[in-house]
Structure 1
Amino acid sequence: MDRLPPLRLLTTFEAVSRHGSMREAAARLNVTQPAISQSLKALEDHIGAPLIDRAVRPARLTEMGEILARAVRGGLGQITAAVENIRTLHNSGSGQVTVSCTLGMASYWLMPRLHTFYARHPDITVNVQAPATDMPVLAPGVDIALRYGTGGWKEGETHRLFTEQVCPVGAPDLVARLQATHTGLDCAPLIHVRSQNNQHWAGWEDYLRLRGISRHHMAGQSFNNYVQAAQAVLDGRGLMLGWRSITGSAVRDGALVPWPDGALDLGTAYFVTGAADLSNSGRAFLDWIKGVELTQQEASD
């Protein structure tokens, strides 16, 4: 650790690399341009390599400077995120709750319903985080995790929210056209969600195999998240596997229609898990979300 340059030198270097010039960095940091130049020279002396090519105008990063710039941006980003998590932890009892869920769940299920929570608890702020993985966890700074699966998580307090079913969905015109031409799922245009972080959701290959449908070509548009894929489906580019938490509202509104007799129960559901040491704000959110889907189910029964 003693070989690391001083943080002030790294932050100055990051500002220069981000803004593209020492003059702009000096203005943003509210220091003189000679002070910026001196800091860069001190950083180069500490590292023992040239980071700025001063032979060109405007000066630009050398290859070694580019390597350091990528590392500094990532490192400072992680430090910033850690500081925010610490602040969230420190303020967890002061009217804030942090919820972790997938981007699709946040966009299509949670956010459209949050106004009812705020109507009951206007003094509580809900911070929603969408991690890269499709299985959110109760990491430090996270009070509530909304996740899909079969349950069985050991940490915190877990409750079942609603059963998930998968069913192909598409734009009304597309589904009508496919049905009119007797085009089945063995030939229909498909929209895929494929990502290394999407490990817990069935794909078209799984669905067709479970339905006993043979298909020779699985080609189709691919996206790495359900938000982008859902927009492509709304635009009529193909069918996607629809989930209640993602496409349910679009189906209810008529923007999408399910494939006839296409629903498949995989024995999965959506669950909410609250941390063992929930604050009063976290407990209020947990109690609220446990009742959201129950109210809707009772209304439809």
Structure 2
Amino acid sequence: MRPFLPPLRLLAVFDAVTRLGSTQRAASDLNVTQPAISQAVKALEDYVGFRLFDRSTRPISLTPAGEILRSGVVEGFDRISSAIERGRSLHSSSDNAVTVACTVGTATYWLMPRVAEFYQEFPEIAVNVLTTVGSPDFIPGVDLLIRYGIGNWNDGAGIKLFDEKVVPVFSPALAQRITSKDTLQAATLLHVVSSDATWLTWRDYFQMTGLPQNLSQGRVFSNYVQATQAALSGQGVMLGWESNTGDLVREGRLLALADAEVFPKEAFYLLRAASAQSHASTLFTDWIKDRVLVEANL
């Protein structure tokens, strides 16, 4: 084992508690008792030498040091998951399988629902989805990328999927409090920390719309999936990207603030590796292009 690293089981418990929001839900997810979860958290705190949770609040919240560890654990687990998926892709039939890489948020809220539709038409094709913390790159075994930007890449043949739209979104439970752009000044904002310079932040949004900055601390998350779950549970207002929250808004699970959209210059693109010439790669590429066209005309 590398020096100073705690046992993996303790990190898994910590990840479950921070991801699910409580020791009770983490216990259910890991199929152990709640006291076992609490003991594991205490053991991890003893191992690393600092407190991970502020237990004076209800529900408990992460300390600043705990936030730092959570970010590292999430990234580490994502890398392990990616490595496993890459290994699996090397053993898949190249003609009947295609591997698509994209961010966790794009995979969860945009790609996977459409993969389910693809399987209804082509059950014989395996679509392996590889998630990344940041913008995906081509690595051995990856056929296609879904990447956000201005399209000026030279590592694959790219086609534009759709333009992006960003709008504040929130749970219907907050509908009486979030009624206009002016009400954002007093709202609890949900922030996503990202090293990607193209990622639109709340500060960017207020500058683009000419609104005063909301200087309250809000709540900070290390990835878009966590922030989305917080929005769904009514914890605050997040910046909803069409690619990630569009379906949730159309389903009524989230509400979009009226007349509050901004349109970044970046868009989503599908890139195909030069080596990706299999039947599965071609079939999935053509299908996703057609699906996007259909959705644009709805």
- Give me the TM-score of the superposition, normalised by structure 2: 0.68
For the residue of structure 2 that corresponds to 1:185, the secondary structure is helix
User: Which position in structure 2 is the counterpart of 1:14?
Assistant: none
Write the mapping of 1:1-301 to structure 2, written as runs, cut at 5 A.
81=83, 85=86, 88-89=89-90, 91=92, 93-133=94-134, 135-179=135-179, 184-196=183-195, 198-215=196-213, 217-278=215-276, 279-298=278-297, 300=298
Q: CA deviation at 1:172?
A: 2.0
RMSD over aligned CA atoms reads 2.6
**Cα distance change of structure 1 residues 216 and 117 upon mapping to structure 2, 3 Å threshold:** closer
For the residue of structure 1 that corresponds to 2:186, the secondary structure is coil
- Could you list the runs of 4 or more consecutive aligned residues of structure 1 that deviate by over 3 angstroms after TM superposition? 84-87, 89-92
Aligned partner of 1:162: which letter?
A: F
Q: Residues 178 and 184 of structure 2 are in contact (CA less than 8 Å); yes or no, is this contact kept in structure 1?
A: no
Q: Residues 175 and 259 of structure 1 are in contact (CA less than 8 Å); yes or no, is this contact kept in structure 2?
A: no
Q: CA deviation at 1:176?
A: 2.5
Could you tell me which runs of 5 or more consecutive residues in structure 1 were left unpaired when the two chains were aligned: 1-9, 11-16, 20-73
**Cα distance change of structure 1 residues 286 and 173 upon mapping to structure 2, 3 Å threshold:** same
Q: Residues 100 and 142 of structure 1 are in contact (CA less than 8 Å); yes or no, is this contact kept in structure 2?
A: yes
Q: CA deviation at 1:218?
A: 4.0
Aligned partner of 2:111: which letter?
A: L
Identity %: 41
Aligned partner of 2:147: which letter?
A: R
**Cα distance change of structure 1 residues 118 and 243 upon mapping to structure 2, 3 Å threshold:** same
Q: CA deviation at 1:93?
A: 2.2
Q: CA deviation at 1:118?
A: 1.4
- Give me the TM-score of the superposition, normalised by structure 1: 0.68
Q: Residues 185 and 213 of structure 1 are in contact (CA less than 8 Å); yes or no, is this contact kept in structure 2?
A: no
Task: State how far apart, in whole Å, the 2-side matches of 1:162 and 1:293 are.
Answer: 7
Q: Residues 99 and 129 of structure 2 are in contact (CA less than 8 Å); yes or no, is this contact kept in structure 1?
A: yes
Q: Residues 105 and 244 of structure 2 are in contact (CA less than 8 Å); yes or no, is this contact kept in structure 1?
A: yes
Aligned partner of 1:110: which letter?
A: L
Task: State how far apart, in whole Å, the 1-side matches of 2:216 and 2:100 are.
Answer: 36
For the residue of structure 2 that corresponds to 1:137, the secondary structure is coil
**Cα distance change of structure 1 residues 124 and 237 upon mapping to structure 2, 3 Å threshold:** same
Q: CA deviation at 1:132?
A: 2.1
Q: How many residues align?
A: 223
